[in-house]
Amino acid sequence: MVNFGCVLTAMITPFGKDGGVNYEVAEKLAVYLADNGSDSIVVCGTTGESPTLSWDEEYQLFQVVQKAVAGKAKVLAGTGSNSTEEAITATQKAAKLGLDGSLQVVPYYNKPPQAGLHDHFKAIAKSCPDLPLMLYNVPGRTGQNLLPETVARLAEIPNIVAIKEATGDFDQVSQLRRLTPPEFAIYSGDDSFTLATLAIGGTGVVSVASHLVGAEIQQMIQAFEIGKTKAATEIHLKLFPLFKVLFCTANPIPLKAALQLQGWEVGSVRPPLCELPPELKQKVEDVLKGLSLI
């Protein structure tokens, strides 16, 4: 049984003043995450600004993070694409690096029907039979919902082992849990839904906020797992303002601003994303101060 752990951090990609990837800061950040609550690190997902990274930048990031956290945390590569052929090529290349898994987003923009989605993920899985895959369902970004019935069919493929479910639809999460085997892991794709997802059979979270409060999120999940639901709820409610403010505009704009406030030299976001406006930056700063994070 594949075990990615409970807290998976969707890591940002630091950039230098020249706009290039700052691999030195990426290495330091990955080590920090592994030492502060992250069981696994997802590299080059949405939070990592994958749409504006080149494949060469992504492969170098995979290797830098893998080396940095070896023996401390697992590494999943975001190698999905709206092109099945491109996703296969990228995933095969990542698999050769010996990474621990791959995150596969639902193809975006072209809106394939469920049969097309099934065949897309099946083809990727079959091309890398020894690499565990996590599906990533985020219809708010992709324009298409991967339905529980389709996920159930995909879960029959041995190396499709998990899903990052970011619909915010708990009826759908419940149906996912009903239709998939117990060992198939369901991760919340939104920090504010982690506790509720656990309550209906989820495993954990692919987190944004864990850059800042990874140990606390880990503590919340562990408390829930041993039946201390009141303690888990208290942590959730304490961190809830942070969960929400980090999505006051497009991710990862607020997160990068928060990390900069903490002193991390993560740089700006790449166009077409833009800087956080002053009024929203003030909101982020106020929440961080309220949680004694700065």
**Which residues are known catalytic residues?**
136, 164
Q: Is the dihedral of CA 205, 210, 211, 215 positive or negative?
A: negative
Residues 6+ apart with CB under 8 A from 62: 43, 44, 75, 77, 94, 97, 99
Q: Angle between the 55-68 and 84-95 helix axes, to the nearest 10 degrees?
A: 30
Q: Supply the DSSP symbol for 107.
A: P
Task: State phi, psi for 117 to the nearest 5 degrees.
Answer: -65, -45
Checking 199-205 for CB contacts under 8 A at 24+ apart, the result is: 199/224, 200/170, 200/173, 200/174, 201/177, 202/165, 202/173, 202/177, 203/6, 203/162, 204/5, 204/6, 204/7, 204/8, 204/39, 205/6, 205/7, 205/8
Gap between the Cα atoms of 162 and 181, Å rounded: 11
Q: Residue 205 pairs with which residues in a beta bridge? A: 7, 188
Question: In the chain, how long is the greatest CA-to-CA distance?
Answer: 49
Helices marked H in the chain — which ranges?
23-35, 55-68, 84-95, 114-127, 139-142, 148-154, 170-179, 194-199, 210-225, 229-245, 253-261, 278-290
CA atoms 105, 146, 141, 42: torsion sign: negative
